[in-house]
Structure 1
């Protein structure tokens, strides 16, 4: 048992089973034993590599998305240029480099990183370099004014709750203890959902699992209200599905653990493994549009990057590069935009949230505006 597993087992023995959301929260963010508070998760020395770490092209293209969006918004000055969960700061550094020649962009941009970890803030300061940067601990603390915000692989790490359709009705998946005192999954009957979610699950096959990310929905709602009130746009990129519009119908157990770059049992190494779940992009779009924003997508990451000029950027980087570097650039291009196993182009999606007056967004077609289902 890990140290956190022992702590959780004692807690559960005293007070009873905990929700999957509570388990994720403790595993990832426990102040002394949590995954993100005790280790470096990013890169080859960690447990996963994010798109900005794969290639500079990812951050550069998203930076140009931000610049074009700023121009479409009428070039507000000043404006808040923010990133949620910036990791080591690699994507923001690439975005700032790519936008350096956009007249007026840097002068107008108030760069703010939403990061609670003092350790990561120090790393981000070194990565971003000389450009002035501010930090806040939460979305609510962002300065007022027009906002252009990006979030890459942020929502997937937010705690989820899992609900299961059983012959007796809806039950919530919980983390308890087995007969030997080890962490084990179980079900708590009589769970209550909002009427929409409950109707969806009631119509699903027995055993269907519906995942809900309360914090993700809250963030989408707050972003939608902020963008509608003060103007701006947000781009959310993550791995996930289109909810009820997905072939799966939005059902399934997507909770997974990564430990030393390999998939792991979710209960095996609490505090030492990364825990994530697929993002329900339709649920995010619904929450944001209900708060007043307009949504575009979700769109596969590969399609977005290709529309933003990935192939041309890769071609330009290859010119003058040695053979080994050309092969590395091409491998990165395929990993970012390809749809084969191990590639990110189809599994990862992008959702744009914008002020309702904005009817065009870079990388998205006009017909890709999200519209709420009547059901």
Structure 2
């Protein structure tokens, strides 16, 4: 029996037969190919994986998200039925910590319908193990939720959605593509020019050679969720690395074994991601009638929710863990770590005042 082709071979064959592909198509295949995609295989998180997310650093992160969600539910009038949707729940750590705190609010767990959006079967199994007591259900569609108020939590989700890249050449822009030269995957430019007017106003006058990244998949997700919330009330909380205003910059990266790798070298073997344009997501939400809180840094958001006080309380209760807690606090909030690189966006229905934002 012939061995199945590797994902790299499949991509190369597609390029040979159909021509160069957009970076969005390449990222989509690398991350979600049903047999060989990065998120279709084993658990990529933790010390034994390729990266560590904030919920895995400390329980404090998820606990504060739980406090935030409870406060939103209370502002919504404590509805007897609502959906709590997490996008890309990882191992279920964030939600496990969040619901442990949220359980203290009378009526919250009885009203909460927990929904998880996850493609990785290994991670789904971990989520089922950690969150089974809350009777979660998994959906293959972002907006396949009940006609109830909707609260969405998305931590490091939008950065993994496929982007397109455009490069300024003369008075026009050209899309960057993945092609082949002498059998090797390389980046090149589409010969078809796009006028400057096709780009967002913030980047139209960029200098020659600058790169603009557009995440149409992220915009689609936000639009679909915003439409549900505009009709049924609620909010989306998105935490990710990125920038608070639309700008040029090349941020596509591959991470493998906790280090940077060549995005083109081993399709499906490395995590591919790019910085999130939170201003673009905010514009999509506003267009659907939602309000947008000022984008906050992770440091400021967690600080306003009381992470310093929580760390102190945990250290008093667990003096032997003081150094571990101090290290986690530093990693989550220091400007040289995740504190300012990571941003927090909240879009919401009218009448809500999400805590943690200026």
Structure 2 residue runs without a partner (length 5+) = none
Structure 1 residue runs without a partner (length 5+) = 245-249, 366-375
Q: Does 1:295 align with 2:298?
A: no
| Alignment deviations for residues 209-248 of structure 1 (CA, whole Å, 9 cap, x no partner) | 110111100111122221111011110000000133xxxx
How many Å separate the matches in 1 of 2:243 and 2:203?
17
Q: Does 1:42 align with 2:45?
A: yes
Q: Give the aligned partner of residue 262 of structure 1.
A: 259
Using the TM superposition, name which of 281-290 and 165-174 deviates more. Answer: 165-174
Query: Match of 1:189, SS?
Result: coil
Deviating 4+ runs (over 6 angstroms): none
**Normalising to structure 1: TM-score of the pair?**
0.91
How many Å separate the matches in 1 of 2:196 and 2:70?
39
Q: List aligned pairs for 1:350-361, cutoff 5 A.
A: 350-358=344-352, 360-361=353-354
Change in CA separation of 1:198 and 1:76 when aligned onto 2, cut-off 3 Å? closer
Q: Does 1:231 align with 2:225?
A: no
Q: Does 1:333 align with 2:335?
A: no
Query: Match of 1:363, SS?
Result: coil
Q: Give the aligned partner of residue 342 of structure 2.
A: 348
Cα distance, 1:197 vs structure 2: 1.9
How many Å separate the matches in 1 of 2:75 and 2:27?
39
Query: Match of 2:113, SS?
Result: strand
**Normalising to structure 2: TM-score of the pair?**
0.95
* Aligned partners of 2:168 and 2:208 also within 8 Å: yes
Q: Does 1:108 align with 2:111?
A: yes
Change in CA separation of 1:337 and 1:198 when aligned onto 2, cut-off 3 Å? closer
How many Å separate the matches in 2 of 1:130 and 1:136?
18
Cα distance, 1:107 vs structure 2: 1.1
Q: Give the aligned partner of residue 191 of structure 2.
A: 189
Q: List aligned pairs for 1:1-375, cutoff 5 A.
A: 3-167=6-170, 169-178=172-181, 180-192=182-194, 195=197, 197=199, 199-244=201-246, 250-323=247-320, 325-340=321-336, 343-358=337-352, 360-365=353-358
How many Å separate the matches in 2 of 1:326 and 1:124?
29
Cα distance, 1:167 vs structure 2: 1.8
| Alignment deviations for residues 242-297 of structure 1 (CA, whole Å, 9 cap, x no partner) | 133xxxxx111100000111001111121100000000000000001101111112
* Aligned partners of 1:116 and 1:138 also within 8 Å: no
Change in CA separation of 1:198 and 1:321 when aligned onto 2, cut-off 3 Å? closer
Query: Match of 1:130, SS?
Result: helix
| Alignment deviations for residues 158-195 of structure 1 (CA, whole Å, 9 cap, x no partner) | 000000100262100000011x2110000013344794
How many Å separate the matches in 1 of 2:293 and 2:319?
39
How many Å separate the matches in 1 of 2:140 and 2:313?
38
* Aligned partners of 2:41 and 2:122 also within 8 Å: no
How many Å separate the matches in 2 of 1:329 and 1:193?
52
Cα distance, 1:42 vs structure 2: 0.7
* Aligned partners of 2:213 and 2:249 also within 8 Å: yes
* Aligned partners of 1:93 and 1:128 also within 8 Å: yes
* Aligned partners of 2:91 and 2:123 also within 8 Å: yes
Cα distance, 1:198 vs structure 2: 5.4
Cα distance, 1:199 vs structure 2: 4.7
